Amino acid sequence: MNKANIEQFFSILQAANPTPTTELAYTNVFELLAAVLLSAQATDVGVNKATARLFPRANNPQAILNLGLPALEDAIKTIGLFRSKARHLMQTCEILVRDYDGQVPHDRTALESLPGVGRKTANVVLNVAFGEPTMAVDTHLFRLGNRTGLAPGKTPFAVEMQLLKRIPPAYMVDAHHWLILHGRYICQARTPRCWECAVSHTCDFKPKTPAPR
């Protein structure tokens, strides 16, 4: 995908959705961090169902600690890997209360030092909560980066670096959301819906199957 196509690709996505946002439900920075931590190998819909049970009872680090591990596990038990996620979230809350006065730090190194928080989760929090121009490369962004020719790479980090290099600055803060939504609903893994894709003419991918009648 060349520069002109990249510019057109994002201008079309922007026109269609000028103010994109995450589909995870949250009302404060801690809720966002917790929801993203719980979202590994789970859908946003599934996470939202679990946090709808959890957050009315506990939506800050001290409240999670007061809730206790068994009750936390019970609240999120519909999510895959809920036991390990509950343990990581509890450990993260302990660190936030002890070292950060219960606040989520606006710092990559600090975020990545929290249990269960890797580079992708840190990037989501930095982007969504703090407006940083980061790229959280999940399966959708990794697929789109390679399939479209926008940011080819063999690893999520390589794709992230390519995205940061190739996306025009004017689109950078919102690009993460546009790409996730595009991958989730249009450029799907098994059968990309090229016949209804508004940016297919900018993309390097050539569909192998015709549009359904």
Closest by alpha carbon to 5, among 210, 156, 205, 212? Answer: 205
Q: Per 3-state DSSP, what percentage of the chain is helix, strand, and coil (rounded to 5)?
A: 60, 0, 40
85, 138, 204, 208: the catalytic one is 138
120, 154, 206, 208: the catalytic one is 120
Q: Provide long-range contacts, Cβ within 8 A and 24+ apart, for 6-10.
A: 6/150, 6/166, 6/167, 6/168, 6/202, 7/168, 8/199, 8/202, 9/148, 9/150, 9/199, 9/202, 9/203, 10/167, 10/168, 10/171, 10/175, 10/178
Residue 138 annotated among the catalytic residues of the structure = yes
Residue 113, phi then psi, degrees to nearest 5: -85, -10
Are 138 and 39 a contacting pair, CB within 8 Å? no
Chain length of the chain: 213
* Angle at CA of residue 128, ends 203 and 84, nearest 5°: 100
Question: What's the token pair of residue 23?
Answer: 């589909």
Q: How far, in Å, CA of 92 to CA of 94, rounded?
A: 5
Where in the sequence numbering do the catalytic residues fall? 120, 138
